[in-house]
A and B are shown apart, each in its own frame.
Chain A
């Protein structure tokens, strides 16, 4: 029985790895340290831009850093925060990022 559970546990991971090839979300792609994403987060709330320390506290992420996971992870974190704990804040989030040194890209919340 334990062996079966172990096999299923491994197969679950394999399915997640395969699935990650077809979706933008890459949480369990088993791609450790395959990414180097420079990003900067700006959050506009209640008529002002949040300080770096406030952004860190809000999302658990630094306002600017080189992040060693896919940029999609940052967006997922921001979205989840804004949809749950800060649902009534109506914050505007602007993310500029350079995935793996490529050209800068932008993402905004709320998404239009």
Chain B
């Protein structure tokens, strides 16, 4: 039986560590990723002084720089506190309220992506071990429901006129316009409109049910990716925010995950060393199967051929095992986010290609390629690393000396 993870206070100030805090995973991961986004894109610096506020009361501070800097300072301090796992819920609320106040202070500052960011942080601040992720989940579902509803009730969306007009302004891929010219007039804009509406309704209702969640998340990722490919825009922070918030729908392991590997395999032992170095959360418990007391119903023959990962609900082997270890490691998401946070010029105005690469890498379409590569390495592992692992060899050596 996998053991419970114990929070280690000495690890808490580690900005890359997300577990062991007052909130259940993956909420701290969601919050940290958004904070990295805020800091990386300097979004916190955009918080304004009051100018044409929603709340007339705030006009008292009309154009007061001190007000703006108070909001920015609060958001920044909140962000730093989140990074270092200090008073997390208060930090979330500080960030959320800063952005909410910033929006209330200026109609001109209002943007849906900033409003969503504010709402997510407020709800993170109101979450705890008992509520889990459901407040964030409800926020995401509400967003997609409202967006889909608004589109389907808008005649210019239904007719495709919106998409036709918007495409000329926003889409920078010639292929789209070439395709539109080959098809009957308004066919492509209308199809894109209805596809967007259908995807948003699908996301809204698909996220409600556990069985459909994983596929729904893929649809959501494809929607974000598609918009990015067509326009090379991030739509404020929406491009980052939505995929990050989908993490709130993931079932995260509540106890250590067992990794069973061939203790006689030098490559496996080396892999363990590398993986354990990057396992900041201490989530994975690596065991040579030769020494494991419980093989979880997996045969020794199978374990000689492939590495296995055993979670509370499922077993994964081979490439799938490595993929799930990557998906359960918060570092993976930090790496992906940092890779995509750069200015557009860094990617020669094709950030979407980088994003598409990551989506493909973790998609079911890459699995056969990954598994084939795994099989090749697994078949030749003794040639790659001829030396056996210390633990299994030492065990046999000590046993034979006793005999």
Contacts and interface: CB of A to CB of B under 8 A. Distances in A.
A77 B126 contact: no
11 contacts: A2-B127, A2-B131, A9-B123, A30-B146, A31-B112, A34-B150, A60-B52, A60-B106, A61-B108, A66-B169, A100-B162
Contacts of B115: 28
Nearest to B154: A34
Nearest to A34: B150
B107 A34 contact: no
A18 to B, nearest CB: 9
A100 B146 contact: no
Interface in B105-127: 106-108, 110, 112-113, 115-116, 119, 122-123, 126-127
B135 interface: yes
Interface of B, secondary structure class, is helix
B147 A3 contact: no
A2 B161 CA distance: 44
A6 B150 contact: no
Contact of A101 (B110, B119, B165): B165
A101 B108 contact: no
Nearest to B110: A27
Question: Which 10 residue pairs of A and B lie closest in terms of their CB atoms, listed nearest first?
Answer: A101-B165, A30-B146, A60-B108, A32-B112, A31-B150, A100-B156, A6-B126, A36-B166, A100-B162, A2-B126
B130 A3 contact: yes
Contacts of B358: none
A63 B210 CA distance: 48
A29 interface: yes
With a 10 A CB-CB cut-off, give which of A2, A10, A69 has the most chain B CB atoms.
Answer: A2
Nearest to A5: B126
B377 interface: no
B59 interface: yes
B52 A10 contact: no
Contacts of A73: 107, 110
A6 B127 contact: yes
Interface string A55-89: 00001110000100100010011001100110000
A26 B52 CA distance: 16
Contacts of B170: 36
B108 A10 contact: no
A102 interface: yes
A30 B156 contact: no
B52 A80 contact: yes
Interface extent on B, as a size class?
Answer: 35 or more
Interface in B38-81: 51-52, 54, 56, 59, 62
Contacts of B113: 32
Contacts of A28: 115
Interface of B: 51-52, 54, 56, 59, 62, 106-108, 110, 112-113, 115-116, 119, 122-123, 126-128, 130-131, 135, 138-139, 142-143, 146-147, 149-151, 153-154, 156-157, 161-162, 164-166, 169-170, 235, 238
A102 B161 contact: yes
Interface of A: 2-3, 5-7, 9-10, 13-14, 17, 21, 27-36, 59-61, 66, 69, 73, 76-77, 80-81, 84-85, 98-102
A72 to B, nearest CB: 11
Given A10-B123, A33-B238, A102-B161, 6 more contacts: A6-B131, A27-B54, A34-B150, A36-B162, A59-B108, A80-B52
A101 B143 contact: no
Contacts of A27: 54, 107, 110
B150 A29 contact: yes
A100 B122 CA distance: 33
Contacts of B149: 17
Contact of B161 (A10, A17, A100): A100
Given A2-B128, A10-B139, A81-B52, A33 B162 contact: no
Nearest to A4: B126
Given A5-B126, A60-B108, A101-B162, A34 B151 contact: yes
Contact of B112 (A10, A33, A76): A33
Nearest to A14: B142
Contacts of A30: 112, 142-143, 146-147, 150
A70 B115 CA distance: 16
Nearest to B242: A32
A13 B162 contact: no
Contacts of B166: 36, 100-101
A39 B97 CA distance: 32
Given A36-B166, A101-B164, A10 B135 contact: yes
Contact of A17 (B106, B108, B116, B142): B142
B235 A32 contact: yes
